[in-house]
Amino acid sequence: MWYQLVSGRSKLSGHVSISGAKNSALAVLAGSLCSCDDVCIRNVPSLLDVSRMLQVLKSLGAHVRHCGNDIYINSRNVSFPEPCEESIQKIRAGFFVIGPLVARHGEAILALPGGCAIGSRPVDLHLRGLEALGAEVEVRQGKVHAWVGNGGRKLKGGCFCMDFPSVGATETLMMAACLAEGKSVLTNVAREPEVKDLANFLIACGAKIEGAGTSTLVIEGVDKLHGANYTIIPDRIEAGTFLIAAAITRSSLTLSPIISSHLTAVMMKLASVGCKFNQLNANTVQIRSSPAFPALINLEMATGPYPSFPTDLQPQIMSLLATCTGQSVIKETMFEERMGHVEELKKLGAQINISRNTAVIQGTSDLSGTRVKANDLRAGSALILAGMAAEGVSIIEGASHVDRGYERFDEKLRMLGANIERL
Q: Please write the tens of the pLDDT for every residue from 220-234.
A: 999 999 999 999 999
- Put simply, whether the predicted model's pTM sits higher than 0.75 gets the answer yes
322 φ, ψ (degrees, to nearest 5): -65, -15
The helices-and-strands tally (H runs, E runs) of the chain is 13, 23
Eight-class DSSP state of 100: H
Full DSSP string of 409-422: HHHHHHHTT-EEEE
Query: Does the pLDDT value for residue 420 go beyond 90?
Result: yes
Among 34, 116, 178, 205, the active-site one is 116
Query: Does the pLDDT value for residue 114 go beyond 70?
Result: no
Q: How far apart are CA 160 and CA 169, in angstroms?
A: 11
Q: How far apart are CA 106 and CA 108, in angstroms?
A: 7
Q: How far apart are CA 360 and CA 289, in angstroms?
A: 23
Full DSSP string of 48-60: HHHHHHHHHHHHT
351 φ, ψ (degrees, to nearest 5): -105, 95
Q: What domains can you pick out in the chain, each with its CATH number?
A: 3-19+235-422 (3.65.10.10), 22-231 (3.65.10.10)
Q: How far apart are CA 241 and CA 394, in angstroms?
A: 19
48 Cβ partners below 8 Å, 6+ apart? 403, 404
Q: Are 137 and 118 in contact (CB under 8 A)?
A: no
Overall average pLDDT of the 342-350 stretch = 97
Predicted pLDDT at 80:
85
84 is catalytic: no
Categorize the per-residue pLDDT at 337 as very low, low, confident or very high, splitting at 50, 70 and 90: confident
Show the DSSP H helices in 334-375 as ranges: 341-347
Categorize the per-residue pLDDT at 202 as very low, low, confident or very high, splitting at 50, 70 and 90: very high
Show the DSSP H helices in 260-376 as ranges: 264-271, 314-321, 341-347
182: left (phi over 0), alpha (psi -120 to 50) or beta: left
How many residues are given for the chain? 423
Q: In angstroms, how far apart are the furthest CA atoms of the chain?
A: 68
Show the DSSP H helices in 160-263 as ranges: 167-177, 193-204, 236-248
Any idea which of 8-22, 139-153, 319-333 has the lowest mean pLDDT? 139-153
Closest C-alpha among 102, 99, 308 to residue 202: 99
Residue type, 354: I
